[in-house]
Amino acid sequence: MNLRRAFTLIEMLVVIIIITSILLIAVPSFQSMLNNSQAALADTMLKSGLRSGKDAALRSSGDQDSAVVFFFAPGGRLTMGIYIKAGSLNDLDGAGNVVRRDIFVPSGINEPLQLPRGWMVRGYAPANSTSDGSNDSTSDPATQWYEPYPNRPKNANEPNWVFPETDFYDRSRSDVGEYRQTFMVRFQAGTGIMKMGSAETCLIFAPGPNAQWRNNGVFANYRADQTDDALRFVTRILNAPAGGGGPTVVTDANRRELLGWKSSDMVLTRAVGQLALYDESKLAAALGVRVDRFSQSLYLPFDPGSPAPPSLPPRPSNFASYSRDINRWISGDTNLDGLHRPNGAAGEVLDAPEARIFTVDRYTGALQAVEVQ
């Protein structure tokens, strides 16, 4: 006679307790291991992108500089593209002054590189290179801009860690390129030496998807969304004769309409020498908000009713302090009190730096970690 012995209730509870205890120990360790792995991968990809940018400059000749340009599309991942200089354009700045801007196009050789999802890079813009924000916008007074406006004076005192604002704009319009701004690391053609110290802004050729406005005016003759040779396309516009028949760009105004900083096919950028690598969700948590589930970033997706995209979510604290607090957190002041103190009087942790700050070596293009206090 065979007797089948079943588990008792106590035995089952003991097994459940043991499994639960193992999970409580293992899950945080696994999560920590995963986070460390993602951080290491992000670090590796960032370094790889800069090496590719420097290599592109070493392969170039003349004045065809290369650049590593940073992009972020809502819902996507931070992307690094390798670009080369195609020429220069007499553009107008926000105050209507004529400015000479270099134009960069994709190298056509290097594939874009992406960071792991959730990881972000910001570029360091020194004082007097960005504005204080728009004085006439209540939806986003912290937005930083490279161009001077009567209502957006340059901030002569405060630097800013700028975000790659490349795809928060109205795709149904041809003239909202001013909302597409980012940063780049630029290398000199032939030598591969990083170029810094210039206050000049540059333009990145980055057409969006097809839109109805491309069938009108000068855009009908120059379809940026259909070209498979960006370098040839841009140089054809820059060198088009000012006269004659056929599909010809005849005025500087036409060139600016197609390739100027207000064109929706272009991204305004500046060269930087310092980069910050960080987890976007940790920055959002420090600011008292959450990463937007649609954009997968701190910023909200484009809203046709927004006067100045990208916009930021409401905060439980002072809304106007967004820019200040972002700069503090990246610089190591993670409790945002304006002081850098790792520990308090009772030994409690006050500031635990999360962002990794790098300078780019001018001659080697290598990243050098900056200790954040």
Q: Could you give the CA distance from residue 204 to residue 102 in angstroms, rounded to a whole number?
A: 9
Q: What is the pLDDT of residue 18?
A: 80
Q: Which of 206, 192, 182, 237 is nearest to 65 (CA)?
A: 192
Q: What is the pLDDT of residue 13?
A: 79
Q: Which two tokens stand for residue 248?
A: 């010809």
Q: What is the pLDDT of residue 137?
A: 41
Pairing of strands 202-205, 98-106: parallel
What SS3 class is residue 234?
helix
Facing residues of 185 across strands?
68
Per-residue pLDDT of the chain (373 residues; tens, 9 = 90+): 555 566 677 777 777 888 877 767 766 655 566 677 888 999 999 999 999 999 999 998 888 999 999 999 999 999 999 999 999 999 998 878 899 999 999 998 888 999 999 999 999 988 878 876 544 443 444 456 677 666 667 777 778 899 999 999 888 899 988 889 999 999 999 999 998 765 689 999 999 887 889 988 889 889 999 999 999 999 999 998 876 555 666 788 999 999 999 999 999 999 999 999 999 999 999 998 999 999 999 998 887 766 566 778 877 765 557 888 899 999 999 988 888 877 776 767 678 889 999 999 999 999 998 876 5
Q: Could you give the CA distance from residue 132 to residue 153 in angstroms, rounded to a whole number?
A: 6
DSSP per-residue string spanning 243-279: S-SSS---SHHHHHHHHSTTSTTEEEEEE-SEEEEEE
- Asked whether the beta carbons of 122 and 280 are under 8 A apart, the reply is no
Calculate helix-pair angle for 252-259, 230-239, nearest 10 degrees: 160
Sheet (strand 356-360) strand order: 160-162, 119-125, 274-279, 356-360, 367-370
Q: What is the pLDDT of residue 194?
A: 93
Q: What is the pLDDT of residue 351?
A: 81
